[in-house]
């Protein structure tokens, strides 16, 4: 495995930022065109691009599966084109893949492209795949903050009014392309759905929000592989579940 710490200037963000990349070196992992399947792995609120490799064994799991990992830094943006701030979603969905595909041997085909994330990153992963179902074959949310309309009604979650700077108002979020419930309806109606994996510990403070999204998905016919078990919002749980996600991916 090669572990690359990359700094780049983003034209979208108008600033320098960081991304960590893991590349399997064994040639037997490569596809017929020499490229590698890739998973974008998203961090949680308060984390950064180093979080997954510092806190879990994801590098080892990726080596076993022969999949490249891309771990971007998005700060506390919730993977949004912020109302007052940088366009992190545009950076993640458009600019970053283009840059990385020009540098590393990673595939740009839908069937080889996946995304997963924890907490805030679970929201980001589902949003990225549901807004781009023609580009992502599968997405996984681990303890994801999936019911953001409900979360936005709890101001203690955020600090110094940042919820307004990120999302605007609840009214602006609800029904928009940043509302997973609305996105799920559109994708279910289109028939072009990526595979979805959702899990959350039953003692997690985000458990009810996960139940809300799961119920909504069932009502509209959106297919979701769902798993729950005892667990809280912590790395022991996420390390186990990201290994499970690697086994679940359609590689």
List of residues 6+ apart from 161 with CB closer than 8 A: none
Strand order in the sheet with 68-72: 2-10, 15-23, 68-72, 38-42, 113-118, 138-142, 195-201, 225-229
CA distance 141 to 143: 6
Return the CATH superfamily for domain 2-248: Alpha/Beta hydrolase fold, catalytic domain (3.40.50.1820)
Q: What tens digit of pLDDT does each residue of 148-164 get?
A: 999 888 767 677 788 88
Give me the sign of the Cα torsion angle 89, 209, 153, 48. Answer: negative
- Report domain extents, the chain: 2-248
Instruction: Count Cβ neighbours within 10 Å for each residue of 237-247 and write b for 16 or more, e otherwise.
Output: bbbebbbebbe
Q: What tens digit of pLDDT does each residue of 112-162 get?
A: 999 999 999 999 999 999 999 999 999 999 999 999 999 888 767 677 788
2-6, 92-96, 155-159, 210-214: the lowest-pLDDT one:
155-159
């Amino acid at each position: 495995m090669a572990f690359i710490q990359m700094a780049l200037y983003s034209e979208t963000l108008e600033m320098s930022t960081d991304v960590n990349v893991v590349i399997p070196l064994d040639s037997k992992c490569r596809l017929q065109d020499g490229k590698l399947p890739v998973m974008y792995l998203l961090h949680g609120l308060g984390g950064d691009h180093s979080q997954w490799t510092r806190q879990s064994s994801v590098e080892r799991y990726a080596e076993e599966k022969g999949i490249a990992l891309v771990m971007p830094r998005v700060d506390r943006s919730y993977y949004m084109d912020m109302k007052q701030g940088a366009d992190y979603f545009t950076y993640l969905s458009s600019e970053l893949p283009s840059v990385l595909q020009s540098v590393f041997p990673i595939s740009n085909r839908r069937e080889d492209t996946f995304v997963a994330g924890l907490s805030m990153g679970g929201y980001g992963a589902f949003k990225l795949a549901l807004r781009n179902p023609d580009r992502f074959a599968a997405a996984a949310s681990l303890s994801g903050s999936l019911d953001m309309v409900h979360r936005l009604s709890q101001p203690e979650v955020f600090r110094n009014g940042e919820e307004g700077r990120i999302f605007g108002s609840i009214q602006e979020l609800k029904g928009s392309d940043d509302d997973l419930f609305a996105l799920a309806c559109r994708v279910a109606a289109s028939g072009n759905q990526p595979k979805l994996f959702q899990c959350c510990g039953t003692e997690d403070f985000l458990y009810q929000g996960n139940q809300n999204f799961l119920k909504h998905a069932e009502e509209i016919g959106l297919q979701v592989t769902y798993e729950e078990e005892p667990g809280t919002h912590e790395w022991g749980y996420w390390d186990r579940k990201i290994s499970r996600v690697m086994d679940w991916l359609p590689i």
